[in-house]
Amino acid sequence: MKKRHYISLAILLAGFLASAAVLRHPRQLPLEECSPEYLRYKDAPGIRASFVKNFPINDTLAVNVLLLEATSDSAFCALLRDFGEAEDLINLYITNRELFVGEDVNAIEVFCIDKNDTKKHLPRATPGSRLVIGSYKKKSLCVFNVEEKSIKDLISLTHIQNLKL
């Protein structure tokens, strides 16, 4: 009888350890399923890159999203340059950071980039453009892999509020 309890306890413990291992080590996508931008930044110094496949936008819609988080102001400025931000705005951020991230300020920027050239900004309605939402406070850029303008509008409305928190 005792032997049966020990076996049951061992099985239970093995299940618990397997569950803990899964939670501590999130599932990773094969690299070929990630965006080219993720591959570009996954090992970049000063940047934490995350690629989320099928990120839920609402109850019926999910899209692929690249999140780039800079660990320093200089890394964030380099990221802004890579995404075609105007040098004047970057210099203003460097010299007057409190305009972007002050006591009650959390500057958010929304723009669209060409899916083949991150430095090229495009109108939201342009096919082939990708929505980018940036937070100066969090030193992050979220690149949403969507082409339809209506979905870009929906994402802009819902997810900007999340960044302001």
Each residue's pLDDT tens digit, 112-136: 999 889 999 999 989 889 999 999 9
Its pTM stands at 0.77
For the cut 60, the answer to whether the pLDDT of residue 6 exceeds it is: no
The predicted structure's pLDDT at residue 163: 56
User: Mean pLDDT throughout 19-35?
Assistant: 52
Residue 17: pLDDT band with limits 50, 70, 90: very low
Most confident of the following: 4-18, 33-47, 69-83, 125-139: 69-83
pLDDT, the chain, mean:
79
**Residue 150 to residue 35: CA distance in whole angstroms:** 22
- Please, which residues have CB within 8 angstroms of residue 165's CB and are 6 or more apart in sequence? none
CA distance 70 to 74: 8
Instruction: Check residue 5 and give its pLDDT.
Output: 46
pLDDT of residue 33: 66
List of long-range contacts for 118-121, beta carbons under 8 Å, 24+ apart: 118/37, 118/82, 118/83, 118/84, 119/82, 119/83, 119/84, 120/84, 121/84
What was the pLDDT predicted at 75? 96
Q: How far is Cα 106 from Cα 147, in angstroms, rounded to an integer?
A: 27
pLDDT tops 70 at residue 91: yes
